[in-house]
Amino acid sequence: MSAELLAKQQQYFRTGETTSVKFRLKQLKKLKEAIESYEEQIMEILHEELRKSPLEAYSMEIGFVYKEIRFMMKHLRKWTKPKRVKTPLTHLGAKSFLYPEPYGVSLIIAPWNYPFQLAIAPLVGAIAAGNCAIVKPSEYTPKMSALLKKIISKAFDEQYVAVVEGGVDVSTELLKLRFDHIFFTGSVPVGKIVMEAASRHLTPLTLELGGKSPAIVDETANLERAAKRLVWGKFANAGQTCIAPDYLLVHEAVKEQLLEKMKHYIREFYGEQPETSEHYAKIVSERHTKRLVSFLHQGTIVHGGRYEIEQRWIEPTIIEGVSWDDPIMQEEIFGPILPVFAFTSIDEAIASIHRYEKPLALYIFSENHRVQQHIIERVSFGGGCINDTLMHIATPYLPFGGVGQSGFGAYHGKASFDAFSHYKSVLKQTTALDLSIRYPNHPNALKWMKRLLK
């Protein structure tokens, strides 16, 4: 079934129809219109499956995608043009160009935490770059998966873009096929499986993975702003955000003050009873809730700690006194629980981060420019913010992606176009002249080559 669909898309891709700029612009417009016509249902399902508030649903899923589409449409003509680059003297008479070309048929595998945005935003890049695509949404948000299928089939013929629904079995079958490019968003262990499958066909891939993203607050930080932005970044979508601060490192001298302020903002954002708050999301499944609840027995709870497993609900929680060896520090938390560690010097904080793989995100709260620079120079991470959380993901001018175990490749804005493109290097030589020293019959060829290639 999937094999037939892929064959159909490959055949359609070879007609060349998907590559004209006019076609791409038309498809992006169609996608936007299809989303607009289903906007209410998208919001409803995001609320039903994850209890996302209208503000979160719109700003982090739907509005985000509209912005990406608009940005692509605005710049596409410029990006698709062959780019002239310099040519060295050794190539006298020639000109050099970079021709962006689509890979062909892309496979996009998406997770459940931003089930709309993380399926559609990569697709925007695939379309802009001139590819066909098969999108595989997550099985943990089945209603959104079905809606994505509806939206995509309304906008596109399946020979161009199609949604294939299903879980691990369907994903496994898709990964056996020979796609021209794979774009995977999900966990590190599954990322490894995807990369192994891609290696069988030498398929180029983009891996958008996760990990343990730290937040650091030093003694110079603006604590009011830090507390507010940390609470927002950690507890949006109940902590089920790939770039949410996973754990907090705070200078001993300001720890108590910061925690008091964070408690204040948790109450201010979600009320005294967050279980009834319209602004606070649910955990995706009972299984995921149980995994998170098991973390609550580690360390000492500073704030929160209540939960209702059947309701898939966990209170925004801050924990202290956790050890680096506790299970909560052995995997990505991906939920509304924040372990806090005190440090006395920035190098101690950096050493703690180096216990782990390179994180997807890192957040620094400090008014000290030298401290900010020191951390950026010493720690490798995908991307992040100084004095904020999450916001680096929401600009088309900053490529978004990981490094090391948090993934490779990047997207958003021009980076999305690049992620789905191959840049073909072409040298255009003149026939008007012919530099003869490269030929074996030139009497002083070697002498001249030595001079030229010094």
Binding residues for ligand NAD, rule: CB under 6 A, are 109-113, 118, 136, 138-139, 167-168, 171-172, 175, 185-187, 190, 193, 208-210, 242, 332, 334, 360, 402, 407
User: Does residue 252 carry a catalytic annotation?
Assistant: no
Minimum CB–partner distance for residue 196 and ligand NAD (Å):
10
Q: Which one, 287 or 438, has the nearer CB to ligand NAD? A: 287
Q: Which one, 209 or 346, has the nearer CB to ligand NAD? A: 209
Report yes or no: 181 and 205 within 8 Å, Cβ to Cβ: yes
Minimum CB–partner distance for residue 215 and ligand NAD (Å):
16
Q: Which two tokens stand for residue 166?
A: 């299903």
Report yes or no: 230 and 248 within 8 Å, Cβ to Cβ: yes
Q: Which one, 172 or 430, has the nearer CB to ligand NAD? A: 172
Q: Which two tokens stand for residue 96?
A: 């050099």
Nearest residue (beta carbon) to ligand NAD: 210
User: Does residue 208 carry a catalytic annotation?
Assistant: yes
E-strand stretches of 10-104: 83-85, 95-102
Q: Which one, 69 or 393, has the nearer CB to ligand NAD? A: 393
Q: Which one, 222 or 285, has the nearer CB to ligand NAD? A: 285
Q: Which one, 111 or 130, has the nearer CB to ligand NAD? A: 111
Give, in order, the Cα–Cα distances in Å from 414 to each of 50, 115, 324.
30, 22, 39
Q: Which residues of 277-303 are buried (b: 16+ CB within 10 A; e: fewer)?
A: eebbbbbbeeebbebbbebbebbebbb
E-strand stretches of 82-228: 83-85, 95-102, 105-109, 132-136, 161-163, 181-185, 205-208, 214-217
Distance between CA 419 and CA 130 in Å, rounded? 12
Among 61, 208, 219, 315, the active-site one is 208
Distance between CA 92 and CA 429 in Å, rounded? 8
Spacing of C-alpha 155 from chain mean position: 24
Minimum CB–partner distance for residue 172 and ligand NAD (Å):
5
Among 49, 242, 315, 385, the active-site one is 242
E-strand stretches of 230-389: 247-251, 300-303, 307-308, 313-314, 317-320, 337-343, 361-365, 383-386
Spacing of C-alpha 98 from chain mean position: 26
The distance in angstroms from the start CA to the end CA of the chain is 58
Annotated catalytic residues are 208, 242
